[in-house]
Structure 1
């Protein structure tokens, strides 16, 4: 409000200066004289008209500016909420990795962009037994810790997801076949190092079976998923806690 008053007064003073300038230029030219009531009106009228008019104008302008700022802030909050909701819809709430649908979508995009690398399917061994013996809280913690391990192997072009239950997927762009084998063993060993503490106080160790596939540039996502899944079940059939690639 103070700024509006100051700007209105300044506008009024400028109006008076303009009025005096015109009066002292035109009135003498017409043979008149600026004095007395004429001089008073030359000063008073611009002040009486311009100050209220400019105050109204500046007030409305300030209201518009504030409304625009509020609208901009509301739009930003809406965009942030949409982005958060979009991220939430793509992220598994328990493990923090992608949901199954988001993982499959990312795999399709990687294929379309000509990516090549390693596709890993990971399944926690005897997960039902862990839930039944130690409780679902311990099982959830096993899933959370596994998701954290997979997230550590991600970069801008890599992604991991929870494909359902205790099954996870990891795609690592740019790995060779030998690098893929080494990475599979790293992940398997990382999971095997997890030690959980059940509500009973017991320590619970877990392990994972991994089925892996090297995906060349232009790989077919559907066939690759099936092959990696078949390799995973071979790893489990061969005794679990191992890699089949």
Structure 2
């Protein structure tokens, strides 16, 4: 409000000065004299006109400025909320990695981009027994811990997702077959090293089987995942807690 009053007074002063300047410049040229009532009118009129007009103008301008600021803030908040919702829609609520739909969409994007890489299909060994022996809360904690390990070991352009239940998938961007196998073993060892304990202090041993498949450029995501799944089945048949490529 003080800013509006300050601007209004400034306009009143400038209007008065302009009125005086015009009067003293032109009235004598017309044979008149700026004095008495004429001088008073020269001062009073611009003040009487400019103050209410300026107040109304600046008040409306301030309201418009405040409305624009509020609108910009609301737009930013809406954009942030949309980004959060979009992020949440792509994420598995329990593990924080991509959900199946988002993972497959990202895998399709990698294929369209013409990149190659290693696709890992991961299954937690004997997960049902973890739920049966220690409860579903322990099972959820195990899945969350595995998701954290997978995400922590990934590089910038790698993709990590939970396909459902105790199944995860990882795509290693531009990875060679050698890196794919090395990374698979690193993941397997990291999961085995997870220190997960029950409230009673009993350690819950975790193991994973991995089916790995190296994807050539322009690979078919569905076929590649099926190939990795077949290798996962072979890993399960070979005794679990192993990698088959």
TM-score normalised to structure 1 length: 0.98
Displacement of 1:55 in angstroms is 1.2
After superposition, what is the alpha-carbon deviation per residue over 1:155-194, rounded to whole angstroms, capped at 9, x for unaligned? 3311100000000000111211111111110001111111
**Corresponding residue SS for 2:154:** coil
Once the two structures are superposed, the pairs formed by residues 22-33 of structure 1 within 5 Å of their partners are 22-33=22-33
Corresponding residue of 1:168:
168
Matching of residue 40 in structure 1 with residue 40 in structure 2: yes
Unaligned runs of 5+ in 1: none
Corresponding residue of 1:242:
242
1-side partners of 2:184 and 2:155: how far apart?
17
Matching of residue 15 in structure 1 with residue 9 in structure 2: no
Corresponding residue of 1:86:
86
Corresponding residue of 1:202:
202
Alignment length (residue pairs): 245
2-side partners of 1:3 and 1:182: how far apart?
68
| Farther-moved stretch of structure 1 (7-16 vs 194-203) | 194-203
1-side partners of 2:37 and 2:154: how far apart?
84
Matching of residue 181 in structure 1 with residue 177 in structure 2: no
Displacement of 1:31 in angstroms is 1.0
1-side partners of 2:156 and 2:242: how far apart?
28
Displacement of 1:130 in angstroms is 0.4
2-side partners of 1:200 and 1:7: how far apart?
73
Displacement of 1:11 in angstroms is 0.4
2-side partners of 1:225 and 1:6: how far apart?
71
Displacement of 1:3 in angstroms is 1.1
Corresponding residue of 1:190:
190
1-side partners of 2:181 and 2:143: how far apart?
23
2-side partners of 1:123 and 1:211: how far apart?
9
Unaligned runs of 5+ in 2: none
1-side partners of 2:22 and 2:156: how far apart?
69
1-side partners of 2:203 and 2:6: how far apart?
74
2-side partners of 1:195 and 1:10: how far apart?
73
2-side partners of 1:116 and 1:39: how far apart?
88
Corresponding residue of 2:69:
69
Q: Is the 8 A contact 1:134 1:199 kept in 2?
A: no
Q: Is the 8 A contact 1:94 1:140 kept in 2?
A: yes
Displacement of 1:15 in angstroms is 0.2
Once superposed, what is the RMSD of the aligned Cα atoms? 0.9
Displacement of 1:199 in angstroms is 3.3
**Corresponding residue SS for 2:27:** helix
**Corresponding residue SS for 1:23:** helix
